[in-house]
Amino acid sequence: MFESLHRRAGKKGLPPGTVSYFGREQSDPVVLEAIRVEPEGVRRTRLASADECAAYVDAPGLTWINVDGLHDPDAISRLGAIFGLHPLVLEDITHTGQRPKLDELDGSLFVVLKMLRYDEVERVIADEQVSFVVLRSVLLTFQEKAAGDVFGEVRKRLMSGAGRLAKGGPDYLMYALIDAVVDNYFVVLERMGEDIEEVEEALLLTPTPGELTTIHGLRREALFLRRFIWPLREVLARLEKGGSPLINDATVFYLRDLYDHTIQVMDTVETFRDMLSGMLELYLSNVSLKLNETMKVLTMISTIFIPLSFLASLYGMNFRHMPELETRYGYFVLLGVMACSVAGMVLFFRRKGWLSKQQ
């Protein structure tokens, strides 16, 4: 969880605006890819180097340049130079411990956020940073090199050349991509929701220490999600209201819808947090109740038998003069006394309500 903190601390002492990578180690090369939407059709090209992008700077129509991998500072600096990006924007793109944010500067719009994926193998939520730069006719996206992205469907729709995607500008394309990211949040939440319901059902049966650890883990995950989603909500609110010239009026309504979805995500995370707190309390209450019940069993057994044992020990003493021992029915009288004592205790416990199954 603190990996990003570690990376951030590594940056200490560097001048602001330094483009350098402190993220996960990467061996694969950075992949650059451009998708051009032109009247004559949609073309997807893999670019050999950042320099090839220069051709797209003022090209009409829509160009989407996707950079897969942040570990080549030179390529990113080159791209920054070509598209005239501010050094701090480039720094933010390469530092993967970023909090979701929106910056508008020098005729470009910069959005950074987190893509989430539920890793089915390790059963953890994995995050990956994605940055968007909206220019007049170009959308730049930067992602960490990872197993894949959640943009497959959007890419397919764009390549088909039909629909609003191909006709819209880079702002609508960005919307569609963020929408895909947020849609994936719901998938992650669904998985968490399933885990929560599973634990809750187990709680109502017999609580085990395992559930405690699971609840703790889920709470940490909720905390983790919250850190990414709260600021995203703010980013979208500003995008929708900000009146940037780079955001088309027609896109605003879509962004408002997206904003509503983010609130829904946030709402769900908060509900999860409330539920997990409630479950922890229920769990602890159950443990307390169980302890109480255990102690009642112990107390009842002890209270019944300890006095009896004392009496038995008493008449097991070897004093020479113990008149009771000599009597003919002493033993039976004592057994009677013991039976009465047991009966008395049972009555006492019943009056206290300890004998009912439930307290």
Binders of a second copy in range 200-259 (CB under 8 A): 204, 206-210, 212-213, 216, 219-220, 223, 227, 231, 253-254, 256-257
Which of 58, 74, 119, 153 is close enough to bind a second copy by CB under 8 A?
A: 153
Percent helix, strand, coil in the chain (nearest 5)? Answer: 60, 15, 25
- Around Cβ 55, how many Cβ atoms within 10 Å? 13
Q: Quick check: 287 binds a second copy (CB under 8 A)?
A: yes
Q: Quick check: 285 binds a second copy (CB under 8 A)?
A: yes
- Residues 27-56 as x/- pattern, contact with a second copy by CB under 8 A: ------------------------------
CA 96, chain centre distance (Å):
17
Query: What CA–CA distance (Å, rounded) separates 212 from 221?
Result: 14
Q: Which stretch binds a second copy (CB under 8 A): 34-42, 45-53, 66-74, 324-332?
A: 324-332
Task: Give the residue with the Cβ less far from a second copy, 31 or 287.
Answer: 287
Task: Give the residue with the Cβ less far from a second copy, 53 or 112.
Answer: 112
Q: Quick check: 59 binds a second copy (CB under 8 A)?
A: no
Which of 13, 39, 243, 245 is close enough to bind a second copy by CB under 8 A?
A: 13
| Lookup: tokens for 279 | 């479950």
E strand segments, the chain: 31-38, 41-47, 62-68, 101-105, 108-119, 124-134, 138-143
Which of 120, 245, 317, 351 is close enough to bind a second copy by CB under 8 A?
A: 317
The DSSP code for 29 is P
Query: What CA–CA distance (Å, rounded) separates 220 from 270?
Result: 13
Query: What CA–CA distance (Å, rounded) separates 223 from 270?
Result: 9
Is the separation of the CB atoms in 194 and 200 below 8 Å? no
Touching a second copy, residues 87-106 (CB under 8 A): 88, 92, 97, 99, 101, 103, 105
Q: Quick check: 346 binds a second copy (CB under 8 A)?
A: no
- Around Cβ 73, how many Cβ atoms within 10 Å? 14
The DSSP code for 275 is H
Task: Give the residue with the Cβ less far from a second copy, 32 or 252.
Answer: 252
Which of 126, 289, 343, 355 is close enough to bind a second copy by CB under 8 A?
A: 289
Shortest Å, Cβ 125 to a second copy: 14
- By CB under 8 A, the count of residues binding a second copy is 119
